[in-house]
């Protein structure tokens, strides 16, 4: 997701609202909000400016930045401000390196350039909808924009038959047949976890689909990466997303080296924790990255992240009996061989396979 989508969302917004620029936007509330249509329109510009400045500055917190409208600014002037601040956000997204992240509170504290682009598009689409409904205007953005927002900010939401009604439903603005109304919602930027010399970068459903189909998922892979295990894991991630059971914090991560931005492997969970608070981890590395300790650092970091949660009490890993390097990795990461008594009690996915060795780590 790039500056192109931001510009398309701005164009969709301003083209719709310009048709009612001669109306009194202050006298009418945006649908579903306590803000007037004028306040809501300016809010879009405020978000664009805030997102652009944070991303450009690589901000670690909210910036002391505020934009204001001169007294007497009419609706046409507000639309110009939306266009100007939207252009700033598009430029910030285009010029930010792939690995750069900046502050955003929901839900993991930061977002990358795709996240800021998606949030900007979401603000434009959703609040244009709110204003248009308040003013009695028809509005439906390009389906591709809504689909991109869903795939990047709503990975926990099962795709619907049409992306725009699904996005409205997911944000409490509409109904979908067979689904309960949404009264409380949030979006999800991808989770990133520092892991020594690599960063574990959460793979979004759109990127996972590309990887599953043989693409690079938007990552710059070392050598001939990714390894087949990562592609297979991404296939399962896409299936979970399409079934509406994907939990993004328990998905798949790329191991990215910060110094050169190269992805050297993949690591992730086989699913969300079960009813006994158990979760299983799998990992692989591209050939040229093996034997350098990357897997150990990644496995240790992701395991410790999981065990710090209230919903995880046991982390499992399974290894082939003849894979001595992987056995050393799990041992260095703090795992121990399951006892004879533990193995039946911790049967979890592949852990019941007699051809695999089960390793366990607990707090």
> Each residue of 153-212: pLDDT tens digit?
999 999 999 999 999 999 999 999 999 999 999 999 999 999 999 999 999 999 999 999
Distance of CA 193 to the CA centre of its chain: 13
* Confidence (pLDDT) at 341: 66
User: What percent of the chain has a predicted confidence (pLDDT) above 90?
Assistant: 93
Burial of 87 (C-beta count, 10 Å sphere; 0-12/13-18/19+)? middle
Task: Say if CB 30 and CB 133 are below 8 A apart.
Answer: yes
All domains of the chain, ordered by start, with CATH?
3-170 (1.20.120), 192-361 (3.40.630.30)
- Does residue 352 surpass a pLDDT of 90? no
* Confidence (pLDDT) at 225: 85
Q: Closest Cα partner for 279 from 320, 322, 308? A: 308
Q: Closest Cα partner for 358 from 341, 267, 301? A: 341
Pairing relationship of beta strands 314-319 and 278-285 according to DSSP bridges: parallel
Count the neighbouring beta carbons within 10 Å of the beta carbon of residue 173: 17
* Confidence (pLDDT) at 132: 98
């Amino acid at each position: 997701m790039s500056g192109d989508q931001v510009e398309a969302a701005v164009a969709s917004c301003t083209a719709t609202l310009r048709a009612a620029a001669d109306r009194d936007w202050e006298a009418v509330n945006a649908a579903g909000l306590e803000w007037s249509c004028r306040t809501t329109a300016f809010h879009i510009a405020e978000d664009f400016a805030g997102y652009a400045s944070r991303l450009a500055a690589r901000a670690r917190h909210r910036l002391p930045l505020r934009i204001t409208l001169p007294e007497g600014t009419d609706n046409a002037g507000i639309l110009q401000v939306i266009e100007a601040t939207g252009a700033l956000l598009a430029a910030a997204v285009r010029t930010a390196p792939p690995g750069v992240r900046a502050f955003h509170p929901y839900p993991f504290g930061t977002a990358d350039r795709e996240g800021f682009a998606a949030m900007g598009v979401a603000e434009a689409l959703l609040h244009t909808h709110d204003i248009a409904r308040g003013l009695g205007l028809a509005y439906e953005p390009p389906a591709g924009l809504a689909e991109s927002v869903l795939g990047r900010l709503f990975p926990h939401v099962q795709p619907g038959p049409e992306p725009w009604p699904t996005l409205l439903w997911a944000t409490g603005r509409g109904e979908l047949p067979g689904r309960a109304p949404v009264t409380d919602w949030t979006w999800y930027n991808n989770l990133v976890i520092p892991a020594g010399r690599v960063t574990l970068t959460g793979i979004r459903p759109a990127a996972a689909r590309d990887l599953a189909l043989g693409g690079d998922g938007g990552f710059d892979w070392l050598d001939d990466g990714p390894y087949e295990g990562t592609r297979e894991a991404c296939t399962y991630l896409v299936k979970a997303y399409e079934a509406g059971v994907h939990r993004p914090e328990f998905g798949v991560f790329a191991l990215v080296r910060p110094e050169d931005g190269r992805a050297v492997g993949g690591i992730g969970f086989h699913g969300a924790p079960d009813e006994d608070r158990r979760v299983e981890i799998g990992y692989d590395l591209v050939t040229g990255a093996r034997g350098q300790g990357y897997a150990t650092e990644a496995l240790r970091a992701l395991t410790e992240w999981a065990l710090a949660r209230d919903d995880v009490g046991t982390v499992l890993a399974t290894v082939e009996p003849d894979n001595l390097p992987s056995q050393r990795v799990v041992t260095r990461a703090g795992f121990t061989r399951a006892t004879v008594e533990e193995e039946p009690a911790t049967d979890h996915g592949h852990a019941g396979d007699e051809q695999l060795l089960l390793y366990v780590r607990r707090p």
